[in-house]
Structure 1
Amino acid sequence: MIAANVMTNTPITVNENTPVFEVVDLLLDLKISGLPVLDSNGIMVGIITEGDLLRRSELGTEIKRPHWQELFLGPDKLAKDYVQSHACYAGAIMTARPLTVSPEAPLDEVIGLMENNNIKRVPVVKADKLVGIITRVDILKALRTILQRDRTPERAHEKNTDDNSMQKEIIDRIHSQPWAPKSNIRINVKNGVVDISGAIWDENIRAALITLIEEVTANGDICDHLVFIEPTTGFCIAKNG
């Protein structure tokens, strides 16, 4: 999946001369937390978010520092803080040159940008023009579409294979996972019920194995006979023991 599959097309934008009041009004009315900012040529030059509007003189929340700290920061940083808390227009408050992606960017790359930079949205740009925006909500909508599709009777029927095929698929998937204790796990499928047995050294591995089986079977018909071996003492603890 790529950015173009997920993004919101023609997102709502503001320009550099949009008054702060109108920006706040849009954020609240649209129930969103950020807006791209365009220049007079329609080129995106920044993004303004709710985070840019928290330190405002109107709220009495502008940054206040002790005098000794102001001496170390210098007038340029203090002047920048003043603009942030007092400016009247979006262009002066926005975050300039935000991170962007192309429409062809893989979705995992987009999510990586969000996670690594602690941001909630990524503008999608092509030839310097804003063509869309991806927010966390857009990603959740894409996930919902896939989950809904997988719940249809047609997709559920696709997973109802015979016991041998199901057993082989589960074993193949276990062998493909770096976390799985391949030589210690035994799988047997009979009448659609999966029996899993063997030894594990971490309860997270049990949860991962059950999750893997549920992905294949699309049901909860699993008999868990895994035995947990306590790493320090070597004691064996059965699930119900």
Structure 2
Amino acid sequence: MLIQDIMTPAPVTVKMSAPIAEAAKLLLDKHLSGLPVVDGKGVVVGIISEGDFLRRGELKTERQRSALLEFFVSPGRLAQEYAHANGRLVEEVMTSPVKTISPFSSISEAVDVMERESIKRLPVVDGGKLVGIVTRSDLLRALAGILATTAEPCGDAEIEARIADELGKRSWSENGFIHVNVRDGIAELSGSIFDERERLAAKVLAENVPGVKAVTDHLTWIDPYSGIAISMP
């Protein structure tokens, strides 16, 4: 699945020269949490979000430090914080430079960037032109659509084979100690595990195979050090 398949096209933007009051009103009126910021040519130059309005002089929420702590903060950092908390124009408080992504990138790439940069949204740019924005909500909508998809019916033998095949692909279960038997769509897990975390992973794996109605757990945990076997009640 590509970014162009899940992005929000033609996103609402704000100009870098606009007053922050305009950006705040857009966020409230459009029920958005962030806006791409564009220059006079429509090129994305930053992002302004709800987080940029948390530390504001008008709200008396500017960052406060003791004199001792402030001694260890560089004058440049203090000046930057002052400008951000008291700026009147979007360009003075926006986050810049901004990370962007291509509409032909995979959603996996977007998630990697969001996690690495600790950000919630990515402007989608094609040939220097803003064509959309992808947010965590877009990813959630894509997931919800996939989860709502009805699986094609299949027989117990096919379900069993698929579960066994998936177990064989995972490093934590490829040893073949986890077995599965499927009857009337109910997957019964048996065999041995050597780490309790493998129990939940095996259950989740089976649940995700199309046609599985429920999973029963008869796995036995074996302590790798003592060799003691403990079965679930």
TM-score (norm 1): 0.88
**Alignment deviations for residues 126-167 of structure 1 (CA, whole Å, 9 cap, x no partner):** 12221111110111111111122x23xxx3xx2x32232222
Normalized per residue, which structure has more helix? 1
Using the alignment, how far apart are the partners of 2:224 and 2:104 within structure 1?
Answer: 46
State the Cα distance separating 1:204 from its structure 2 match.
1.9
Change (3 A) 1:225 1:20: same
CA contact (8 A) 2:186 2:212 kept: no
Using the alignment, how far apart are the partners of 1:170 and 1:201 within structure 2?
Answer: 19
Q: 2:123 matched to which residue of 1? A: 123
Q: 1:98 matched to which residue of 2? A: 98
TM-score (norm 2): 0.90
CA contact (8 A) 2:221 2:230 kept: yes
Change (3 A) 1:95 1:40: same
Q: 2:19 matched to which residue of 1? A: 19
CA contact (8 A) 1:20 1:89 kept: yes
Using the alignment, how far apart are the partners of 2:73 and 2:219 within structure 1?
Answer: 60
SS at match of 2:208: helix
Q: 2:180 aligns with which of 187, 200, 205?
A: 187
- Alignment RMSD, CA only? 2.0
CA contact (8 A) 1:174 1:182 kept: no
Q: 2:206 aligns with which of 193, 210, 213?
A: 213
- One-letter amino acid of the structure 2 residue matched with residue 229 of structure 1: I
- One-letter amino acid of the structure 2 residue matched with residue 141 of structure 1: R
Q: 1:145 matched to which residue of 2? A: 145
Q: 1:31 matched to which residue of 2? A: 31
SS at match of 1:46: strand
SS at match of 2:58: helix
Change (3 A) 1:75 1:199: closer
CA contact (8 A) 2:10 2:132 kept: yes
Map 1:202-241 onto structure 2 (within 5 A): 202-240=195-233
**Alignment deviations for residues 175-199 of structure 1 (CA, whole Å, 9 cap, x no partner):** 0111215321222334443332111
Matched, 1:10 2:10: yes
Structure 2 unaligned blocks of 5 or more: none
- One-letter amino acid of the structure 2 residue matched with residue 202 of structure 1: D
Using the alignment, how far apart are the partners of 2:71 and 2:218 within structure 1?
Answer: 67
SS at match of 2:103: coil
Map 1:19-98 onto structure 2 (within 5 A): 19-67=19-67, 73-98=73-98
Change (3 A) 1:234 1:56: same
Using the alignment, how far apart are the partners of 1:100 and 1:64 within structure 2?
Answer: 33
Count of paired positions: 233
Using the alignment, how far apart are the partners of 1:171 and 1:74 within structure 2?
Answer: 59
**Alignment deviations for residues 58-97 of structure 1 (CA, whole Å, 9 cap, x no partner):** 0112233445655554543333222111111101111112
- One-letter amino acid of the structure 2 residue matched with residue 166 of structure 1: I
CA contact (8 A) 2:187 2:216 kept: yes
**Alignment deviations for residues 96-130 of structure 1 (CA, whole Å, 9 cap, x no partner):** 12111111111111011111111111111112221
